[in-house]
Amino acid sequence: MKPYVILNAAMTLDGKIATETGSSNISGKEDLIRVHELRKEVDAIMVGINTVIADDPRLTVHKIESKKEDNPIRVVVDGKGRIPIESRITNDDAPTIIAVSDDYKSDLTASDKYHVLKNNGVDFFFAGENQVDLVKLMNYLYEKGVRTLMLEGGSTLNFSMIKDGLIDEIRICVAPMVVGGVNAISLFGGDGFMTMDESVKLELVDSFSCGKDLVLKYKVKY
């Protein structure tokens, strides 16, 4: 069993979620309010480790009125246990789970960082070789009571999740901006598929303006 997974992201018209240098302020203020309303609704929110390193996000509900109990469980997919010890997601604003691959379990559990984070209340989940096994992670989260999960990127994790058939819905804010750049980061990265026949098919279920941005909602059809 797995949670219902909603991928939410903001991209430029040319499909980039960040530039090559990691600059990523894309959503307008109205869209950020929509994002925080969604954060408030879901049981958990998940990002990849590069997003934590690049943005140091809080992953809490802080742009609309809310209580501490409204914050979702924060989940970081961190294959090699690279989490910086001072990351804001390790504070006590909400529970945090860091998922690490089995190959890096012994290195991590032998480190001071692991014990400091454990003492601060951070939970760890180990599964997979080199990369985190996302199917097992989704099953673990479901068993912990997570029924809805918001996936907030980045590009590499988004592709792994859709390739593994784990995304149910996609909500995209398309900002009226063009940034270009072959090395800019796109909505889905990873290895990609080699042919359009292999592409994951979507069904557009809603679209609306949100300030200067356009929001598109899709169901994923596996």
Ligand X SMILES: Nc1nc(=O)c(N)c(NC[C@H](O)[C@H](O)[C@H](O)COP(=O)(O)O)[nH]1
Query: In the complex, what is the shortest distance from the CB of residue 190 to ligand X, in angstroms, rounded to a whole number?
Result: 18
Q: Quick one: which segment of 25-33, 128-136, 139-147, 179-187 binds ligand X (CB under 6 A)?
A: 25-33
Answer for which of 132, 141, 149, 166 binds ligand NAD (CB under 6 A) is 132
Structure tokens at 211: 């300030």
Residue 48 binds which of ligand X, ligand NAD, none (CB < 5-8 A, kind-dependent):
ligand NAD
In sequence order, which residues have a C-beta less than 8 Å from that of residue 165 and are 6 or more positions away?
A: 222
Of 11, 28, 2, 1, which is closest to residue 152 (Cα–Cα)? Answer: 11
**Closest Cα partner for 222 from 161, 139, 175?**
161
Binding-site member from 7, 138, 141, 152 for ligand X (CB under 6 A): 152
Q: Is residue 166 within 8 Å of residue 193, measured between CB atoms?
A: no
Contact positions with ligand NAD (CB under 6 A) in 49-88: 49-51, 54-55, 77, 79
Decide: 40 and 70 in contact? Cβ < 8 Å. yes
3 near ligand NAD, rule: CB under 6 A: no
Q: HSE, CB side, 13 Å, CA atoms: give it for residue 165.
A: 7
How large is the C-alpha radius of gyration of the chain? 17
Nearer to ligand X, 2 or 36 (CB): 36
Place of tokens 């809080």: 58
CB closer to ligand X out of 15 and 103: 15
Q: Which residues bind ligand X (CB under 6 A)?
A: 8-10, 24-27, 35, 47, 51, 55, 57-59, 152-153, 173
Residues contributing to the site for ligand NAD (CB under 6 A): 9-10, 17-18, 22, 24, 26, 47-51, 54-55, 77, 79, 131-132, 134, 152-157, 160, 185, 189
